[in-house]
């Protein structure tokens, strides 16, 4: 068979994603905090972007009423206002840049509209004179002193306690192995081998570290942590030592076995248990580590006087971005070099696309949230027991978007409702068949029902998993015993034996 070269033309179709579209898809799933960080970066990088004020936001702040199904496709009030403002401004800018802006705005397909940039309503374009943000504002958080970490706290004590350089090196190595909870994660034999030190010396250094503040730090397990704290209080007598060595029985509420092992009466055992409960099982958490950020809802849901659920975007999570067209006109007029003209044109393209992407992002989040509220109206009106099974495809089909878009929108987004703050993904639950062939039940609603059955137990009538299955079957839920056990363990509900011991102990 002879080999030869030849030219062929083939026609194929492929999805080509521009860098801007890829970035928009990525930004769609950012949380509000990550979104603010991205916007701050763009404000620093792009001279045509300015921070807007609350007065620049839309008049209605993107509100929706979600009782009738057709409301799910209405856009956002503020977002529509922003879109009109954007189109007016866009036409004036195109006169200065020709057709370059056309590359920034692809056709508005359903999937592309669902992949906006990381900002939210309240962003608008600005053609007026003057600047945008107040440059005199200060971030007070930047002046707050850094919180002392556990490692730094231990190192300070080590510097005052241990003078020998070799022992200091061992101590610092052990401090670096202490986790955020204050426990030593590692084996002393391997530490001695790595450092080339006798195991006895490593153990002696660890004994010194275990005397540091906070009490219980550098323990290797919970038993040792509690023992260290009890020794600090001079309460580690033989009876208490026996109790600490059998914490597993304490967790099981096996008080009869503990009384026998410790050799004490009921009153003394109660006092000993109270003493242990007053201790700190994770002493290291009192020191700074990772700052816990509060949850800020992206969507607000409230009931209108006429009984309709109103959905609106939280304006506090919406960075306001303006385009200073006057500054652009001045710079573009005085620019002579092609390189400078190209730079300012790129900045205007990026800024304009950013505003457009933020507009689309806001509309997409509002659309998805409104459909979720419409689908789960029973939950908002009557509670978790009326939560219906819901998947991404149902919402995607209802609003004419792709499942992946809905998945990105619901990631890291929260909804504030009269019943609390929930992540958007909370409303998507699997379905459990009905025993009578009727409408399926939500898995979350079934878990809530299991919790209610357990909370209503009496010491004389503790429900086993089989009994729970029977009660759920009588209520029309077709569920297997292993599923009940899985849900119970996920909610950290003890077994029927442990629950009986706990409730009998309370009565005693």
Residue 24 CB: number of other CB atoms within 10 A? 26
pLDDT at 395: 92
How far apart, in whole angstroms, are the C-alpha atoms of residue 478 and residue 178? Answer: 48
With a cut of 70, say whether residue 75 has pLDDT above it: no
Same domain, 161 and 231: yes
Residues 6 or more apart whose CB falls under 8 angstroms from that of 157 comprise 212, 213
Whether the model pTM is above 0.85? no
Instruction: Note the pLDDT of residue 135.
Output: 44
Domain boundary among 351, 374, 397: 374
Residue 361 in domain = yes
CATH number at residue 255: 1.10.10.1330
CA atoms within 13 A on the CB side of 119: 28
Is 80 exceeded by the pLDDT of residue 20? no
115 lies in the same domain as 157: no
How far, in Å, CA of 319 to CA of 119, rounded? 6
Domain membership of residue 281 as a residue range: 150-286
Residue 351 counted as domain residue: yes
For 26-72, write each residue's pLDDT tens digit: 778 888 888 888 888 888 888 888 887 765 544 334 455 554 333 33
Same domain membership, residue 277 and residue 207 = yes
> Is 179 in the same domain as 279?
yes
Mean pLDDT computed over 475-479: 85
Q: How confident is the model at residue 322 (pLDDT cuts 50, 70, 90)?
A: confident
Taking the alpha carbons at both ends of the chain, their separation in whole angstroms is: 94
Distance CA 53, CA 230 (A): 57
Question: Would 310 be classed as within a structural domain?
Answer: no
What one-character-per-residue DSSP string does 4-52 give? ---------------HHHHHHHHHHT--HHHHHHHHHHHHHH-TTEEE-
| Residue with tokens 């080509």, as numbered in its chain | 16
- Does residue 75 sit within a domain? yes
398 within a domain of the structure (yes/no): no
Provide the sign of the torsion angle of the four alpha carbons 188, 193, 195, 198, taken in this order. Answer: positive
Could you tell me the two tokens for 16?
């080509």
Cβ 39 vs Cβ 119: under 8 Å: yes
- Of 286, 307, 325, the domain-final residue: 286
Are 160 and 258 in a shared domain? yes
- The length of the chain, given as a count of residues: 508
The structural domain count of the chain equals 3
Q: Quote the tokens at residue 248.
A: 């597993």
| Max Cα-Cα span within the chain | 98
| Rounded Cα gap, residues 459 and 234, in angstroms | 37
The three-class DSSP label of residue 464 is coil
Per residue in 179-232, pLDDT (tens digit) is 989 999 888 988 888 888 899 999 999 999 999 999 999 999 999 999 999 999
Is 300 a domain residue?
no
pLDDT at 448 over 70: yes
Say if residue 483 is in the same domain as residue 365: no
> What is the CB neighbour count within 10 angstroms for residue 481?
13
Q: How far, in Å, CA of 113 to CA of 505, rounded?
A: 60
Same structural domain, 264 and 358: no
Domain-embedded: residue 419 = no
User: Does 168 score more than 50 pLDDT?
Assistant: yes
Provide the pLDDT for residue 436: 67
Alpha-carbon Rg for the chain in angstroms: 32
Kindly state whether residues 368 and 441 are assigned to the same domain: no
Is 112 part of a structural domain of the chain? Answer: yes
Q: Report CA 182 to chain centroid distance, whole Å.
A: 25
Q: What is the pLDDT of residues 116-166, one digit of tens each?
A: 333 333 333 333 333 333 444 445 554 455 567 888 899 999 999 998 888
- Reply yes or no on whether the pLDDT at 493 is more than 50: yes
Residues 231 and 125 in one domain: no
Two structure tokens written together for 74 = 């209405």
195 shares a domain with 86: no
- Looking at 349, 374, 399, which one is the last position of a domain? 374
Give the residue among 183, 382, 419 at the shortest CA–CA distance from 280.
183
Q: Is the pLDDT of residue 352 over 60?
A: yes
- Residues 118-144 as b/e (b if ≥16 CB within 10 A, e otherwise) read bbbbbbbbbeeeeebeeeeeeeeeeee
Q: Could you give the CA distance from residue 300 to residue 63 in angstroms, rounded to a whole number?
A: 9
Q: What pLDDT is recorded for position 71?
A: 37
Rounded to whole angstroms, the Cα distance separating 422 from 298 reads 10
Q: Do 101 and 27 lie in a common domain?
A: yes
Is there a single domain that holds both residue 321 and residue 264? no
């Amino acid at each position: 068979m002879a080999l030869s070269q030849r030219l062929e033309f083939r026609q194929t179709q492929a999805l080509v994603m521009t860098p801007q579209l890829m970035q928009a898809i990525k930004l769609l799933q950012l949380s509000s905090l990550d979104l603010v960080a991205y916007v701050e970066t763009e404000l620093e990088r792009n001279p045509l972007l300015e921070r807007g004020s609350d007065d620049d936001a839309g008049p209605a702040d993107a509100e929706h009423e979600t009782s009738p199904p057709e409301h799910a496709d209405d856009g956002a009030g503020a977002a529509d206002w922003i879109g009109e403002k954007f189109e007016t401004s866009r036409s004036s800018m195109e006169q200065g840049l020709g057709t370059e802006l056309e590359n920034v705005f692809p056709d508005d397909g359903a999937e592309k509209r669902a992949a906006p940039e990381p900002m939210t309503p309240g962003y608008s374009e600005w053609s007026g004179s003057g600047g945008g943000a107040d440059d005199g504002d200060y971030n007070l958080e930047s002046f707050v002193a850094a919180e002392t970490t556990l490692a730094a706290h231990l190192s300070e004590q080590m510097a005052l306690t241990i003078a020998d350089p070799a022992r200091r090196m061992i101590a610092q190595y052990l401090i670096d192995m202490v986790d955020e909870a204050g426990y030593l994660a590692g084996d002393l034999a391997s530490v001695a081998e790595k450092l080339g030190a006798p195991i006895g010396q490593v153990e002696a250094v660890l004994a010194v570290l275990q005397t540091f503040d906070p009490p219980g730090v550098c323990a290797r397990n919970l038993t040792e942590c509690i023992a260290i704290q009890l020794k600090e209080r001079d309460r580690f007598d033989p009876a208490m030592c026996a109790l600490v060595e059998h914490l597993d029985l304490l967790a099981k509420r096996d008080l009869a076995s503990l009384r026998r092992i410790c050799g004490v009466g009921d009153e003394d055992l109660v006092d000993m248990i109270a003493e242990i409960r007053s201790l700190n099982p994770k002493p290291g958490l009192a020191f700074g580590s990772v700052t816990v950020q509060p949850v800020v809802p992206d969507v607000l849901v409230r009931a209108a006087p006429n009984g309709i659920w109103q959905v609106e975007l939280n304006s506090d999570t919406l960075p306001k971005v303006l385009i200073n067209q006057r500054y652009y006109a001045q710079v573009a007029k005085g620019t002579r070099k092609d390189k400078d003209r190209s730079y300012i044109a790129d900045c205007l393209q990026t800024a304009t696309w950013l505003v457009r992407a933020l507009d689309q992002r806001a509309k997409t989040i509002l659309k998805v949230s409104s459909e979720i509220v419409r689908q789960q109206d029973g939950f908002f009106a009557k509670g978790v027991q009326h939560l219906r099974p819901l998947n991404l495809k149902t919402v995607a089909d209802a609003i004419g978007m792709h499942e992946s878009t809905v998945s990105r929108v619901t990631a890291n987004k929260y909804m504030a409702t009269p019943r609390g703050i929930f992540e958007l993904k909370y409303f998507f639950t699997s379905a459990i068949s009905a025993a009578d062939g009727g409408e399926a039940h939500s898995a979350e609603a079934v878990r809530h029902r299991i919790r209610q059955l357990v909370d209503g137990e009496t010491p004389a009538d503790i429900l086993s998993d089989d009994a729970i299955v029977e009660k759920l079957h009588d209520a029309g839920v077709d569920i297997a015993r292993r599923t009940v056990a899985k849900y119970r363990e996920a909610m950290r509900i003890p077994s029927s034996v442990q629950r009986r011991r706990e409730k009998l102990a309370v009565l005693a």
